[in-house]
Amino acid sequence: MTTSPATSIARFSLVALDCPDPRALAGFYSAITGWPVHPDSRDDWVELRADGPVTIAFQQAPGHRPPAWPDERSPQQLHIDLDVPDLDDGEREVLALGARKAEVQPKPERFRVYFDPAGHPFCLVLED
């Protein structure tokens, strides 16, 4: 089945990340994006209030095991790209918030790979 944008089946609204502590991980991404935690969030499901139509949510998963990127036996499954005007400044800030820098950096002059506090990979990408 083929659809055009005018006849789409659905509208993308959010990406949800499994994690052991949704409020803590929401706080991490809130500090990066500047989006506040949605006031209707629960302990097991927390959403950020984005400044656009798409947001990030965090779902409690007590047995969550993070991916082991770049190990293909436990792939990253998904990642979030966040544009920044300066990679070095962005790196300092996300590391101060609790991110870990990945050992493998495929194109560090263009984008850099990190892991959030729950182990999900995300990238800081140099703005065009």
Q: Which domains does the chain have, with CATH numbers?
A: 1-64 (3.10.180.10), 66-128 (3.10.180.10)
So what's the pLDDT on residue 9?
A: 57
* pLDDT tops 70 at residue 76: no
Per-residue pLDDT tens digits for 77-111: 777 889 999 999 999 999 999 999 999 998 999 99
Nearest-angstrom CA–CA distance, 66 and 56: 17
The single-letter code of the amino acid at 102 is A
pLDDT level of residue 5 (50, 70, 90 thresholds) = low
What pLDDT, in 10s, does the model give residues 16-61? 898 999 999 999 999 999 999 999 989 899 999 999 999 999 989 8
Q: Is the pLDDT of residue 72 over 90?
A: no
Tokens 């949510």 locate to 57
Helix (H), strand (E), coil (C) string for 13-60 = CEEEEEECCHHHHHHHHHHHHCCCECCCCCCCEEEECCCCCCEEEEEE
Residue 7, pLDDT > 80, answer no
Pairing assessment for the beta strands 111-115 and 100-101 based on DSSP bridges? antiparallel
